């Protein structure tokens, strides 16, 4: 449970950093911002899925897909 909470905190921090970096740019279009948010969310989803699969492997689950 602690690992999941830590992962949520890391993902949240990554999103906040991404948003703050977007705000620092002067010539950013809404499309650029949307694309960066999409990429950040995709990366976060992949990280969560990887962590889930690793936890399933550690517990010896037959199905390690998440």
In this prediction, residue 65 carries a pLDDT of 85
Q: What distances in angstroms separate CA 39 from CA 5, 25, 45, 48, 51, one per listed residue?
A: 22, 17, 10, 14, 18
In this prediction, residue 22 carries a pLDDT of 61
In this prediction, residue 26 carries a pLDDT of 60
In this prediction, residue 21 carries a pLDDT of 64
Residue-wise pLDDT tens digits, 7-55? 778 877 777 777 666 655 566 788 888 888 899 989 988 999 999 999 8
Residue 18 near residue 40 (C-beta atoms within 8 A): yes
In this prediction, residue 5 carries a pLDDT of 72
């Amino acid at each position: 449970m602690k690992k999941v909470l830590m992962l949520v905190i890391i993902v949240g921090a990554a999103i906040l950093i991404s948003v703050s970096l977007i705000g620092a740019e002067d010539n950013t279009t809404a499309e650029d911002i949307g694309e960066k948010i999409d990429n950040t969310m995709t990366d976060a989803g992949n990280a969560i899925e990887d962590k889930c699969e690793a936890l399933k492997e550690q517990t010896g689950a037959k199905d390690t897909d998440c």
